[in-house]
Amino acid sequence: MDDLEFELRDDYIPLCDLLKYCGITETGGMAKQLIDEGMVRVDGEVELRKRAKIRAGQVVTGDGFAIHVA
């Protein structure tokens, strides 16, 4: 499992952008598809909102990855 840390530069980052910036997906479209399929969890709960605001302290997980947002 890839265990990644992402440091925010603003108050939040949209979920689809986070997946793209961390290299989980190659494009934003692929990130949106992954989210639509229910393959992404935020703090242990399935998240279906592509632009959900991810803030410091949250953990985004999926098949083979975990992103800790600082």
Number of residues assigned to the chain: 70
Q: With beta carbons less than 8 A apart as the criterion, state whether 60 and 15 touch.
A: yes
In sequence order, the 6+-apart residues with CB closer than 8 A to the CB of 53 are 11, 12, 13, 14, 15
Mind listing the pLDDT tens digit of every residue in the chain (70 residues)?
Answer: 889 999 999 999 999 999 999 999 999 999 999 999 999 999 999 999 999 999 999 999 999 999 999 9
Prediction pTM value: 0.95
